[in-house]
Structure 1
Protein backbone atom coordinates (compact mmCIF):
# COMPACT_ATOMS: atom_id res chain seq x y z
CA UNK A 1 0.00 0.00 0.00
CA UNK A 2 1.15 3.54 -0.76
CA UNK A 3 0.43 6.20 1.80
CA UNK A 4 0.68 9.96 1.80
CA UNK A 5 1.12 11.35 5.29
CA UNK A 6 -1.42 13.97 6.24
CA UNK A 7 0.79 16.79 7.39
CA UNK A 8 0.12 20.01 9.19
CA UNK A 9 -0.06 23.12 7.06
CA UNK A 10 2.51 25.83 7.34
CA UNK A 11 5.95 24.37 6.63
CA UNK A 12 7.41 26.91 4.23
CA UNK A 13 8.41 25.86 0.72
CA UNK A 14 7.98 22.09 1.23
CA UNK A 15 4.78 20.73 -0.23
CA UNK A 16 4.04 17.29 -1.59
CA UNK A 17 1.74 16.31 -4.45
CA UNK A 18 0.88 12.61 -4.64
CA UNK A 19 -0.61 11.33 -7.88
CA UNK A 20 -3.01 8.49 -8.55
CA UNK A 21 -6.03 7.77 -10.68
CA UNK A 22 -9.68 8.66 -10.20
CA UNK A 23 -12.69 6.33 -10.57
CA UNK A 24 -12.49 6.73 -14.37
CA UNK A 25 -8.79 5.79 -14.45
CA UNK A 26 -7.66 9.38 -15.19
CA UNK A 27 -4.43 10.67 -13.66
CA UNK A 28 -4.93 13.21 -10.89
CA UNK A 29 -3.51 14.61 -7.66
CA UNK A 30 -4.91 12.51 -4.81
CA UNK A 31 -3.13 14.35 -2.01
CA UNK A 32 -1.64 17.85 -1.74
CA UNK A 33 -0.12 18.65 1.62
CA UNK A 34 2.61 20.71 3.23
CA UNK A 35 5.23 18.67 5.03
CA UNK A 36 5.29 19.08 8.80
CA UNK A 37 8.73 18.83 10.37
CA UNK A 38 8.77 17.36 13.86
CA UNK A 39 11.45 18.68 16.23
CA UNK A 40 13.31 15.55 17.39
CA UNK A 41 16.25 17.21 19.16
CA UNK A 42 17.72 20.70 19.31
CA UNK A 43 18.70 21.63 15.77
CA UNK A 44 17.22 18.43 14.27
CA UNK A 45 13.77 18.18 12.71
CA UNK A 46 12.39 15.57 10.32
CA UNK A 47 9.24 15.03 8.28
CA UNK A 48 8.01 12.11 6.20
CA UNK A 49 6.13 13.28 3.12
CA UNK A 50 5.60 9.76 1.73
CA UNK A 51 6.22 6.11 2.56
CA UNK A 52 5.39 2.71 1.12
CA UNK A 53 4.20 -0.21 3.21
CA UNK A 54 5.17 -3.08 0.89
CA UNK A 55 8.29 -4.10 -1.00
CA UNK A 56 8.36 -3.90 -3.92
CA UNK A 57 5.86 -1.05 -4.13
CA UNK A 58 2.34 -1.91 -5.30
CA UNK A 59 1.62 -2.44 -8.99
CA UNK A 60 1.26 0.77 -10.91
CA UNK A 61 -2.02 1.68 -12.60
CA UNK A 62 -2.42 1.01 -16.29
CA UNK A 63 -1.86 4.08 -18.44
CA UNK A 64 -3.44 5.33 -21.66
CA UNK A 65 -0.36 7.28 -22.81
CA UNK A 66 2.77 5.58 -24.20
CA UNK A 67 4.89 3.70 -21.66
CA UNK A 68 8.48 4.74 -21.03
CA UNK A 69 10.14 1.51 -19.88
CA UNK A 70 12.78 2.60 -17.38
CA UNK A 71 14.31 -0.89 -17.27
CA UNK A 72 14.22 -1.01 -13.48
CA UNK A 73 13.09 -4.32 -11.96
CA UNK A 74 10.45 -4.15 -9.20
CA UNK A 75 12.03 -2.95 -5.97
CA UNK A 76 15.28 -1.68 -7.54
CA UNK A 77 16.15 2.01 -7.41
CA UNK A 78 17.69 4.58 -9.76
CA UNK A 79 18.51 8.18 -8.73
CA UNK A 80 18.63 10.75 -11.54
CA UNK A 81 18.96 14.49 -12.05
CA UNK A 82 16.85 15.85 -14.91
CA UNK A 83 17.23 19.25 -16.57
CA UNK A 84 14.32 20.66 -18.54
CA UNK A 85 15.21 23.64 -20.72
CA UNK A 86 13.27 26.91 -20.61
CA UNK A 87 9.65 26.44 -21.77
CA UNK A 88 10.35 22.85 -22.87
CA UNK A 89 7.63 20.19 -22.80
CA UNK A 90 7.69 16.41 -22.69
CA UNK A 91 5.06 14.30 -24.41
CA UNK A 92 2.43 12.69 -22.20
CA UNK A 93 3.62 9.28 -20.99
CA UNK A 94 3.52 6.88 -18.06
CA UNK A 95 6.32 4.89 -16.49
CA UNK A 96 6.90 1.49 -14.92
CA UNK A 97 8.25 3.15 -11.77
CA UNK A 98 7.25 4.96 -8.62
CA UNK A 99 9.02 8.33 -8.94
CA UNK A 100 9.96 10.55 -5.98
CA UNK A 101 10.79 13.94 -7.46
CA UNK A 102 12.11 17.17 -5.94
CA UNK A 103 12.19 20.47 -7.81
CA UNK A 104 15.77 21.61 -7.20
CA UNK A 105 15.59 24.86 -9.17
CA UNK A 106 13.31 26.75 -11.51
CA UNK A 107 9.67 25.92 -12.01
CA UNK A 108 7.67 23.32 -13.88
CA UNK A 109 4.09 22.30 -14.47
CA UNK A 110 3.13 18.67 -13.92
CA UNK A 111 0.41 17.97 -16.48
CA UNK A 112 -2.11 15.31 -15.42
CA UNK A 113 -5.54 14.45 -16.76
CA UNK A 114 -7.01 16.75 -14.08
CA UNK A 115 -4.95 19.73 -15.33
CA UNK A 116 -1.64 21.51 -14.80
CA UNK A 117 -0.04 21.70 -11.35
CA UNK A 118 2.62 24.44 -10.96
CA UNK A 119 5.67 23.40 -8.94
CA UNK A 120 8.52 25.52 -7.61
CA UNK A 121 11.91 24.95 -6.00
CA UNK A 122 11.55 22.71 -2.96
CA UNK A 123 8.24 21.13 -4.01
CA UNK A 124 7.97 17.33 -3.91
CA UNK A 125 6.02 15.04 -6.23
CA UNK A 126 5.18 11.35 -5.93
CA UNK A 127 4.39 9.97 -9.40
CA UNK A 128 2.76 6.57 -9.14
CA UNK A 129 3.32 5.59 -12.78
CA UNK A 130 0.30 7.59 -13.98
CA UNK A 131 -0.07 9.40 -17.32
CA UNK A 132 1.75 12.73 -17.10
CA UNK A 133 3.82 15.32 -18.93
CA UNK A 134 6.15 18.14 -17.87
CA UNK A 135 6.19 21.80 -19.02
CA UNK A 136 9.18 23.78 -17.77
CA UNK A 137 8.89 27.41 -16.75
CA UNK A 138 10.67 30.31 -18.45
CA UNK A 139 13.92 29.66 -16.54
CA UNK A 140 13.78 25.88 -17.03
CA UNK A 141 13.79 23.37 -14.21
CA UNK A 142 16.10 20.88 -12.52
CA UNK A 143 14.56 17.83 -10.87
CA UNK A 144 16.07 15.21 -8.60
CA UNK A 145 14.26 11.94 -9.28
CA UNK A 146 14.42 8.67 -7.38
CA UNK A 147 12.78 5.90 -9.41
CA UNK A 148 11.66 2.63 -7.82
CA UNK A 149 10.70 -0.23 -10.13
CA UNK A 150 7.10 -1.44 -9.78
CA UNK A 151 5.29 -4.60 -10.85
CA UNK A 152 3.09 -4.37 -13.96
CA UNK A 153 -0.61 -3.50 -13.58
CA UNK A 154 -2.80 -6.28 -12.31
CA UNK A 155 -0.19 -8.03 -10.14
Structure 2
Protein backbone atom coordinates (compact mmCIF):
# COMPACT_ATOMS: atom_id res chain seq x y z
CA UNK A 1 0.00 0.00 0.00
CA UNK A 2 1.32 3.42 -0.82
CA UNK A 3 0.52 6.04 1.78
CA UNK A 4 2.65 9.00 2.64
CA UNK A 5 3.60 10.24 6.05
CA UNK A 6 1.74 13.12 7.63
CA UNK A 7 3.35 16.43 8.56
CA UNK A 8 2.59 17.34 12.17
CA UNK A 9 3.40 20.77 13.60
CA UNK A 10 3.39 21.01 17.40
CA UNK A 11 3.31 24.30 19.31
CA UNK A 12 4.20 25.04 22.93
CA UNK A 13 5.35 27.91 25.17
CA UNK A 14 8.84 29.02 26.06
CA UNK A 15 9.84 29.82 29.65
CA UNK A 16 8.30 33.33 29.59
CA UNK A 17 5.00 32.09 28.12
CA UNK A 18 5.60 33.15 24.52
CA UNK A 19 4.08 30.84 21.91
CA UNK A 20 6.73 28.90 19.98
CA UNK A 21 6.97 25.96 17.61
CA UNK A 22 8.07 22.79 19.37
CA UNK A 23 8.47 20.57 16.30
CA UNK A 24 7.67 20.15 12.62
CA UNK A 25 8.03 16.49 11.62
CA UNK A 26 6.64 13.90 9.26
CA UNK A 27 5.08 10.95 11.07
CA UNK A 28 5.48 7.86 8.93
CA UNK A 29 2.61 5.34 8.90
CA UNK A 30 2.84 2.14 10.97
CA UNK A 31 1.60 -0.99 9.13
CA UNK A 32 1.19 -3.75 11.75
CA UNK A 33 -0.98 -5.88 9.45
CA UNK A 34 1.48 -5.89 6.55
CA UNK A 35 1.74 -3.79 3.40
CA UNK A 36 -1.76 -4.68 2.14
CA UNK A 37 -3.56 -3.74 5.36
CA UNK A 38 -4.33 -0.61 7.29
CA UNK A 39 -1.63 1.77 8.44
CA UNK A 40 -1.80 4.19 11.35
CA UNK A 41 -0.12 7.41 12.43
CA UNK A 42 -0.70 8.54 16.02
CA UNK A 43 0.06 12.25 16.41
CA UNK A 44 -0.79 12.83 20.05
CA UNK A 45 -2.22 10.96 23.03
CA UNK A 46 -2.97 12.30 26.47
CA UNK A 47 -3.85 10.19 29.49
CA UNK A 48 -6.38 12.58 31.02
CA UNK A 49 -8.74 15.38 30.06
CA UNK A 50 -8.37 18.24 30.68
CA UNK A 51 -4.87 17.94 29.26
CA UNK A 52 -1.70 19.58 30.49
CA UNK A 53 -0.62 21.97 27.72
CA UNK A 54 2.85 22.16 29.23
CA UNK A 55 3.44 18.45 28.74
CA UNK A 56 5.79 17.65 25.89
CA UNK A 57 4.72 15.39 23.00
CA UNK A 58 5.63 11.72 23.15
CA UNK A 59 7.07 9.48 20.43
CA UNK A 60 3.98 7.55 19.38
CA UNK A 61 5.24 5.97 16.17
CA UNK A 62 4.69 2.26 15.65
CA UNK A 63 1.68 1.92 17.95
CA UNK A 64 -1.96 1.11 17.30
CA UNK A 65 -4.29 4.00 18.09
CA UNK A 66 -5.80 3.32 21.51
CA UNK A 67 -7.29 5.91 23.82
CA UNK A 68 -6.63 5.85 27.56
CA UNK A 69 -9.89 5.49 29.59
CA UNK A 70 -9.92 9.16 30.64
CA UNK A 71 -7.80 10.50 27.78
CA UNK A 72 -7.76 11.52 24.15
CA UNK A 73 -5.88 10.39 21.02
CA UNK A 74 -5.40 12.17 17.67
CA UNK A 75 -4.47 9.98 14.70
CA UNK A 76 -5.09 8.93 11.11
CA UNK A 77 -5.80 5.58 9.53
CA UNK A 78 -4.96 4.73 5.92
CA UNK A 79 -7.18 1.88 4.76
CA UNK A 80 -5.67 -0.02 1.85
CA UNK A 81 -7.72 -0.66 -1.29
CA UNK A 82 -9.94 -3.75 -1.03
CA UNK A 83 -9.07 -4.17 2.66
CA UNK A 84 -11.45 -4.61 5.59
CA UNK A 85 -11.02 -4.19 9.33
CA UNK A 86 -12.82 -6.84 11.40
CA UNK A 87 -15.79 -6.07 13.64
CA UNK A 88 -14.60 -4.33 16.81
CA UNK A 89 -15.61 -1.88 19.54
CA UNK A 90 -13.41 0.64 21.32
CA UNK A 91 -14.30 2.27 24.64
CA UNK A 92 -14.28 5.72 23.14
CA UNK A 93 -16.27 8.45 21.49
CA UNK A 94 -14.67 8.82 18.06
CA UNK A 95 -14.87 11.96 15.94
CA UNK A 96 -13.77 11.17 12.39
CA UNK A 97 -13.49 12.85 9.01
CA UNK A 98 -12.72 11.06 5.76
CA UNK A 99 -9.87 13.06 4.24
CA UNK A 100 -9.55 11.14 0.96
CA UNK A 101 -11.17 8.19 -0.74
CA UNK A 102 -14.25 6.49 0.62
CA UNK A 103 -15.03 3.80 3.19
CA UNK A 104 -18.01 1.63 4.06
CA UNK A 105 -18.88 1.72 7.77
CA UNK A 106 -20.74 -1.42 8.82
CA UNK A 107 -22.55 -2.02 12.10
CA UNK A 108 -23.34 -5.29 13.85
CA UNK A 109 -27.02 -5.06 12.84
CA UNK A 110 -25.85 -5.49 9.21
CA UNK A 111 -26.54 -1.91 8.12
CA UNK A 112 -23.83 -0.10 6.13
CA UNK A 113 -23.20 3.48 5.04
CA UNK A 114 -20.67 4.70 2.48
CA UNK A 115 -18.69 7.63 3.85
CA UNK A 116 -16.84 9.81 1.33
CA UNK A 117 -14.09 12.43 1.48
CA UNK A 118 -15.38 15.44 3.38
CA UNK A 119 -17.95 13.44 5.38
CA UNK A 120 -17.87 13.35 9.19
CA UNK A 121 -18.64 10.56 11.68
CA UNK A 122 -19.52 10.66 15.38
CA UNK A 123 -19.13 7.09 16.59
CA UNK A 124 -20.32 6.31 20.11
CA UNK A 125 -18.60 3.09 21.21
CA UNK A 126 -20.45 0.90 18.70
CA UNK A 127 -19.36 -2.44 17.32
CA UNK A 128 -18.30 -1.68 13.75
CA UNK A 129 -16.22 -2.70 10.76
CA UNK A 130 -14.56 -0.79 7.91
CA UNK A 131 -14.49 -1.88 4.24
CA UNK A 132 -12.55 -0.12 1.51
CA UNK A 133 -14.19 -1.49 -1.64
CA UNK A 134 -12.33 0.86 -3.98
CA UNK A 135 -8.96 0.93 -5.76
CA UNK A 136 -7.81 3.98 -3.73
CA UNK A 137 -6.40 4.36 -0.22
CA UNK A 138 -8.94 5.87 2.19
CA UNK A 139 -7.43 8.26 4.76
CA UNK A 140 -9.48 8.99 7.89
CA UNK A 141 -8.57 11.41 10.71
CA UNK A 142 -9.76 10.52 14.22
CA UNK A 143 -9.99 12.25 17.57
CA UNK A 144 -10.76 9.48 20.06
CA UNK A 145 -12.02 10.43 23.54
CA UNK A 146 -12.06 7.89 26.38
CA UNK A 147 -15.63 6.96 27.30
CA UNK A 148 -17.60 5.00 29.86
CA UNK A 149 -18.80 1.54 28.87
CA UNK A 150 -22.24 1.47 27.24
CA UNK A 151 -24.67 0.13 29.86
CA UNK A 152 -27.81 -1.67 28.66
CA UNK A 153 -31.19 -1.50 30.41
CA UNK A 154 -30.56 -4.93 32.01
CA UNK A 155 -27.30 -3.67 33.53
CA UNK A 156 -25.00 -5.49 31.07
CA UNK A 157 -21.97 -3.42 30.04
CA UNK A 158 -20.59 -3.65 26.51
CA UNK A 159 -16.88 -4.47 26.54
CA UNK A 160 -14.11 -3.41 24.18
CA UNK A 161 -13.64 -5.91 21.33
CA UNK A 162 -10.63 -4.48 19.57
CA UNK A 163 -8.64 -6.60 17.14
CA UNK A 164 -5.03 -7.44 17.78
CA UNK A 165 -2.08 -6.90 15.47
Pairwise TM-score range, normalised by the shorter structure: 0.5 to 0.7
Say yes or no: does 1:105 pair with 2:100: yes
* Contact 2:89–2:128, Cα closer than 8 Å, also in 1: yes
Say yes or no: does 1:84 pair with 2:44: no
| TM-score with structure 1 setting the length | 0.52
Q: CA deviation at 1:130?
A: 0.5
Q: Deviations over 1:126-153 (max 9, x none)?
A: 1101010000131120000000001223
| TM-score with structure 2 setting the length | 0.49
**Segments ≥4 residues shifted beyond 6 Å:** none
After TM superposition, the structure 1 stretch with the greater mean CA deviation from structure 2, 137-146 or 118-127, is 137-146
What is the match of residue 142 of structure 1? Answer: 139
- 3-state SS of 2:144 partner: strand
- 3-state SS of 1:95 partner: coil
What is the RMSD computed on CA atoms of the aligned residues? 2.4
Higher relative CO (Cα under 8 Å, sequence separation at least 6) belongs to 1
Q: Which has the higher strand share?
A: 1
Runs of 5+ unmatched residues, structure 1: 1-54, 57-67
Runs of 5+ unmatched residues, structure 2: 1-48, 51-63, 152-156, 158-165
